[in-house]
Structure 1
């Protein structure tokens, strides 16, 4: 459904005191300076993960841009206004998300109207589209949603194919401002269909690319030691790392007007990173451990089962997150109590009595039991202490034993993870998948396609 008749092209005059601060000639860039503003108290207080940052940053690369600034601000008009004023002084592109809904804390359009002195005007075409969107669902539009049809004077309406909040585009002096909804899927559509094409026209020729090498098994500091000297060898490339529960992602980026040169220098840099990382490199781009394990199982014609105690099904959930997992995943058993370990997986009561449930022996017996009882080629198991209670001097919180069973034998690995209960469970689940990966000798083959964005 399209938004009709809502693309005015007039530009308002700038408000007093909002003019761009002069830049020294030495600071001028060929790439437009870009700022991302994410609006929402739920983001500021850590109640909701801020996924829009990754989304916008990744898509900006298609237009040859990288964000120079990122600000998160709560739902308070005074602070949102301050952030807007700062952004238009220092950036040539400002992209905001959030605050375009119909509720009382959705105040982005009001702040835009105040800061940039653009009167809000009811756009009848937009209002009709919002009503039609509700009618499609068999509902009458609540009166509260009428506020979403208030458009700052001179702003262009960006269509919303999924929801009721249109995006906004306006220019202040030489700064292009885009206000998008906070819902990631809605923001992504607007970025892909409107914002990125517009910015490509404004920033022709310059392209940016990002490559990602994903690793597991080494800390960020140890990995940094392996990468020492890389940027001296490849000065055109920018290197960065991001630590996650699933491991450390190495980011490699560069910009150039020469696309072939850019491709070549990133290919060379990516290969060097994989060589330095070694076997801890498991994938490129957005590939997950589950993707890599699934591909290896299919390649070898194998099936897998899971047996979990303290991870409570997280390993199985990770396996089935990959499309096509039904071709190799036979099922899983969550056996939390000792009794269930005995009855469901055939773990020996003598083993449980002698060494306890959190042990290498039990991990191996759990994996073997799952493999045999579900008829799988291989199986992986987890047992441990997630905390915050239940730890002892001998078996502290964070201790985990991960088992793997195949026809040629059983193995187990011992880990001591830190963090909260959720952190420990997440890390143990990822390392369980990694044990499968390493057992199958899967990783980053030289022929694997590079991640390109």
Structure 2
């Protein structure tokens, strides 16, 4: 089935807003075994939106759009649909009541401008929106199913999960497609390719792809079949083989995150953790608390950017700073130890480095980072050399700090939570 995704919004073309709806829709379709064929992004100009619709319905069996359903003057998707497909806009009283109710729930009166969101192309079905004021639209043009969804990702996701994907599954009950994701960190894409040589020859039914991210490399396995049980079996076999070859670099399956993997390991061992951050500015702690339930294992973090704060807040020795500098293995270890002792955690991780673009030297270039780790058994540190922009370096250092914790816990825990905190 040929599927086209059209994202509408001039802010997307100008790079003012990240086009997360492309990722969202493609991912949800893939999870459901439905493969998107085309991605189109178009600005808020009627002629270009119209051209995108005409092209899409000519070549695709399913068209999903996001954006342009708001109440403002540049929200023109409804009008374009009415013009292109010759469907007069009709005020839908039920949709209007729903919009009014949404405002009432917030203790507000609906502004007159929002009435435009209840104008529905003749013959279209309304897709309810419990998270916002813009109803979605579903209509059929010849043999093409068209779905127009709001541009707000959370609203689009609700409609995709609750309406669009169930409809498409009922319409296409035969061929089933599925995808598995194996997530890795600490090994390059080329190194993984060497480990996986011959995989597709051994598993001809499976298609293998790789996606490099700041957090590592994701391995994607996909396959299609009319036999759902056979499909799951061949994917299970392929997934096990990938995990075996990728080894300890695998930190999660599917959409699992590194912070979730660290949290699960800490809970499994009954341990808590603290963070001490310099140049990552709290990114490691933020990643940990992004996982629900992190209060069970995350004691807290200390951001010590200056040398003075490293001494006062973490107890880093002035002599250590003088002899080795703030960006050093020795300081990373003392930072980690200081956070663990001050926050009463079983283990701790620290970051210190040079994010750039200035501040580097021949001896200590931009991108140099040290990550420290402390337990009652002792302290250690690892040296890294990251490339990219300042943001890239901070992001990668934060991920690798979490991975040091993951690897250390995976290696075994011969120590326990401090008795005063148990």
Q: TM-score, normalised by structure 2?
A: 0.94
| Map of 1:224 onto structure 2 | 193
Distance 1:134 1:344 in 2: 48
Task: Give matches, 1:103-114, under 5 Å.
Answer: 103-114=72-83
Matched, 1:406 2:368: no
2:61 and 2:144 in contact (8 A); partners too: yes
1:380 and 1:405 in contact (8 A); partners too: yes
2:33 and 2:179 in contact (8 A); partners too: no
Match of 2:283 among 294, 310, 314: 314
| Map of 1:100 onto structure 2 | 69
Distance 1:304 1:131 in 2: 48
Deviates more, 1:183-192 or 1:62-71: 62-71
- The DSSP-based 3-state class of the residue aligned with 2:156 is helix
Distance 2:326 2:225 in 1: 57
Distance 1:128 1:305 in 2: 50
Match of 1:357 among 318, 326, 340: 326
| Map of 1:175 onto structure 2 | 144
CA shift, 1:322, in A, is 1.6
| Map of 1:9 onto structure 2 | none
Distance 1:78 1:102 in 2: 19
CA shift, 1:62, in A, is 5.4
Task: Give matches, 1:431-442, under 5 Å.
Answer: 431-441=400-410
Q: Deviations over 1:287-313 (max 9, x none)?
A: 111111111111122221111001111
| Map of 1:83 onto structure 2 | 52
The structure 1 segments of at least 4 consecutive aligned residues displaced by more than 3 Å after TM superposition are 61-64
| Map of 2:21 onto structure 1 | 52
- Structure 2, unaligned stretches of length 5 or more? 413-422
CA shift, 1:78, in A, is 2.0
Match of 1:271 among 230, 234, 240: 240
Q: Deviations over 1:316-375 (max 9, x none)?
A: 111112222222211111111101111111111111111110011110111111112222
Distance 1:341 1:361 in 2: 13
Distance 2:49 2:128 in 1: 24
CA shift, 1:55, in A, is 2.2
- The DSSP-based 3-state class of the residue aligned with 1:413 is strand
- Cα separation, partners in 2 of 1:72 and 1:393, compared to 1, 3 Å: same
| Map of 2:5 onto structure 1 | 36
Match of 1:282 among 251, 275, 278: 251
What's the Cα RMSD here?
A: 1.6
CA shift, 1:129, in A, is 2.3
1:61 and 1:207 in contact (8 A); partners too: no
| Map of 1:243 onto structure 2 | 212
Q: Deviations over 1:143-168 (max 9, x none)?
A: 21121111112211111112111111
Distance 1:126 1:152 in 2: 12
- The DSSP-based 3-state class of the residue aligned with 1:241 is strand
CA shift, 1:64, in A, is 3.2
Q: Relative contact order (alpha carbons < 8 A, sep ≥ 6): 1 or 2 greater?
A: 1
Q: TM-score, normalised by structure 1?
A: 0.88
Q: Deviations over 1:191-221 (max 9, x none)?
A: 1221112111110132222111001112223
Distance 1:64 1:338 in 2: 53
Task: Give matches, 1:298-337, under 5 Å.
Answer: 298-337=267-306
Match of 2:176 among 207, 210, 226: 207
- The DSSP-based 3-state class of the residue aligned with 1:190 is helix
- Structure 1, unaligned stretches of length 5 or more? 1-31, 444-453
- Cα separation, partners in 2 of 1:63 and 1:352, compared to 1, 3 Å: closer
Q: Deviations over 1:379-438 (max 9, x none)?
A: 100001111221222211111110111122211111111222111111110000000111
Distance 1:246 1:85 in 2: 39
1:383 and 1:401 in contact (8 A); partners too: yes
- Cα separation, partners in 2 of 1:168 and 1:155, compared to 1, 3 Å: same
Q: Deviations over 1:264-296 (max 9, x none)?
A: 000011011111211111111111111111111
- Cα separation, partners in 2 of 1:358 and 1:63, compared to 1, 3 Å: closer
CA shift, 1:442, in A, is 6.7
- The DSSP-based 3-state class of the residue aligned with 1:221 is helix
| Map of 1:25 onto structure 2 | none
| Map of 1:430 onto structure 2 | 399
